[in-house]
């Protein structure tokens, strides 16, 4: 068994559902619900990560309906969270676990290589990776 820890690239989701700053918030909310996602990266035309948008961001705007119950129109760029943290596919999963512990409010990190989005890694992805490394407990 090698002493090298698994890397983010081996656990991340490469099928990221990235959106644009100009995308309509209703469409993004529909995407989150339909795909069972809690959030997605926001990228520019070149695939560079600009931020993240998630359920909480969408709810902040969509819950402010008017007297007819209609939410105000909005674009992703107006409410997305700017991306302060990105990770590399070569990052050790234990180091990333530490980042998640340091930022408990974050559920996912965009994974960037050569300046472009290559995937997304979630807390659950890292937990799955760590569990694969743990020995089975007796009696289980």
Instruction: Note the pLDDT tens digit of each residue in 3-43.
Output: 477 899 999 999 879 999 999 988 998 999 999 998 999 99
The answer to whether residue 33 sits within a structural domain is yes
Q: Rounded mean pLDDT of the chain?
A: 86
Could you give the CA distance from residue 104 to residue 86 in angstroms, rounded to a whole number?
Answer: 15
Which of 55, 58, 95, 89 has its CA nearest to residue 73? Answer: 58
Output the CA–CA distances (angstroms, integers) from residue 35 to 24, 71, 82, 117, in the order listed. Answer: 17, 22, 23, 19
The answer to whether residue 137 sits within a structural domain is no
pTM confidence score:
0.82
- pLDDT tens sequence across 37-61: 989 999 999 999 999 999 888 887 7
65: which residues sit within 8 A by CB, 6+ positions away?
A: 71, 72
Q: Give residue 48's domain range.
A: 8-132
Per-residue confidence (pLDDT) for residue 129, from 0 to 100: 86
The answer to whether residue 140 sits within a structural domain is no
The SS3 assignment for 132 reads helix
């Amino acid at each position: 068994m090698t002493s090298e820890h698994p890397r983010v690239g081996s656990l991340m989701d490469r099928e990221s559902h990235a959106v644009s700053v100009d995308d309509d918030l209703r469409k993004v909310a529909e995407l989150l619900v339909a795909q069972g996602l809690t959030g997605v990266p926001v990228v520019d035309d070149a695939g560079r990560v600009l931020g993240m948008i998630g359920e909480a961001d969408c709810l902040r705007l969509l819950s402010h309906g008017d007297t007819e119950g209609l939410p105000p129109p909005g674009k992703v760029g107006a409410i997305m969270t700017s991306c302060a943290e990105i990770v590399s596919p070569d990052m050790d999963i234990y180091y990333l676990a530490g980042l998640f512990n340091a930022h408990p409010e974050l559920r996912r990190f965009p994974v960037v290589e050569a300046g472009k989005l290559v995937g997304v890694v979630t807390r659950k992805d890292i937990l799955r990776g760590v569990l694969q490394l743990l020995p089975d407990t007796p009696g289980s």
